[in-house]
Amino acid sequence: MKNIKNRYISLLLFSFLIFTFACDDFLDLKPYDALTAEQLLLDEQGMQGLSNGSLRMMKDLLGDDANNVYVRVLFQTTEFPSDNVLIVKSTTDPLWLSFNRAHILSQENTSYLWATGYKIILNTNIIINNAVIDETTSDEAKQYIGESYFYRGIVFFDLARLFSFPPSHGVDNNGIILRTGLGGEDAKARATVGDTYKQIISDLWKGTELMTSRPSDAIKYGNKYAALGYLSRAYLFTEQFDSVIIAATDVIDNSDRDLEANDSYIHALHNTASSEEAMFILYHDDTEDRGSGAIGSMYNGDGGWGEIFPSKPYRELVSLYPHDVRNQLLDTVFDDGGNIVLYQGSPYEKIFINKFSYQNGISTAHSPIFMRLSEVYLNRAEAYAHLGTEDQKALDDVNAIRERAGLSGGELLTTGNLASHGFANVLEAVLNERRLELAFEGHRRDDLMRNKIDLDRSFNSAQNVNEETDIYPFNGPRQIYYIPAAQEIAYNSLCEQNE
């Protein structure tokens, strides 16, 4: 490790503490600012503390608003603009702006995500920029350095998904700001989309090379196979389909992860720490139950708000096969007479979503999955579909998911029965299965946008009370969010705003 002088560490700490984007009470950095200069000399203990600090910033409440937690905002801002969900009424919570696409420059949730994302990135940069890897570097130190590359890569990826169009729309478009140093970068232009994704892929690859000391089932931290899973996703975004297949196959063939069995599927989604297929989760123990601020709170009225329900098109899709285990993720509320209860003062049936609930039986407790094996299978399936030369291999991966869900016989897909299932081509079948399997996890919006498919929300909801035609183009400006004005645009003259 470099022998970093205490004077420089103190300056680094100061930079870390003031990186609040001009918001005096925006974040409370404890316990991260409790690190001393000596602990930041990048010995293994110091690196472990910094690496774990990145995770804590993803999951901890860093301000006074219980709604502002990185992981909660991430799941909401990616899923709520999709066609999977509806909201039953307007709300002053900025999540409303994700539903109706009425984004504003001072949007609180996206401002928090942007600011916290770059705090996490700065935290990872402390290790990345000051650690030397040579023959004397221990495996443990390499692990923490690798974790920092991994966390930086996935946060860059999160920001790129929300604030820029995917590479399929053009690699020369504006991406995000790539802050990879430790200072002097306040005025910095946005990288191109192409360069943004090159950085994401580079960071994830570096993570796979260095993260070796934790077993692959250490899913509470960065690990090699989680990084490979993210690489399969990043290659899908960049349309490097052969590379998707290589990365995904490595995970499927060589990791110790297996698709969760049908009879344990629901339990594993509720209790992700024991899941056979989870590859990276943001672990919360039961004392870290977020209550009404939990991811599942808006979906589930059992201890939560229960104001966001599955959309009519999604319900129709999952109910095509009543024995599909994924139907059990929807809880329909009935009255004593057996009638479906309506949300008070609305025409919307109460159908709660329990995918993010019931960890150890606690209705609002959950440890969200960021990467799991089901997605890796479906990433590979989509890559095969795009290549167009391995159609049955694509369907084999889709069928692995369908079989686990409880489908069999003619319910499985072949190149000969696609039309009878309503699919015009293999890609449609893959995207359909991705919608079913990855519902509410923040993938649907991206799947549509990067495949240049318009968003169809022509179903009854608080944004569309008359169930009128509501189709938003895949390249419409409000498919992505504004760069936060106060947190970036106001002091960075080089940063261009989204249209």
Least confident of 127-131, 270-274, 492-496: 127-131
pLDDT tens, 328-381?
999 999 999 999 999 999 999 999 999 999 999 999 999 999 999 999 999 999
- List C-alpha distances in Å: 332 to 83, 213, 327, 445: 19, 45, 10, 25
- The rounded distance, in Å, linking the Cα atoms of 433 and 420 is 16
pLDDT tens, 384-438?
999 999 999 999 999 999 999 999 999 999 999 999 999 999 999 999 999 999 9
pLDDT at 34 over 50: no
pLDDT recorded at residue 14: 40
- The rounded distance, in Å, linking the Cα atoms of 346 and 359 is 30
Query: Domains plus CATH for the chain?
Result: 6-88+102-266+480-489 (1.25.40.390), 284-366 (no CATH), 370-452 (1.25.40.900)
- The rounded distance, in Å, linking the Cα atoms of 487 and 309 is 32
Give the whole-number percent of the chain exceeding pLDDT 70: 90
Least confident of 64-78, 190-204, 303-317, 421-435: 64-78
Q: Compute CA 229 distance to the chain's CA centroid, rounded to the nearest angstrom.
A: 13
CA-based radius of gyration for the chain: 22
- Strand 455-456 and strand 471-472: the pairing is antiparallel
pLDDT recorded at residue 186: 74
pLDDT tens, 183-209?
766 789 999 999 999 999 999 999 999
pLDDT recorded at residue 217: 58
The answer for residues whose C-beta is within 8 angstroms of residue 191's C-beta and 6 or more apart is 175, 176, 177, 178, 199
Contact 475, 498 (CB under 8 A): no
- Strand 85-87 and strand 308-310: the pairing is antiparallel
pLDDT recorded at residue 61: 77
Give the whole-number percent of the chain exceeding pLDDT 90: 82
pLDDT at 40 over 70: no
pLDDT at 304 over 50: yes
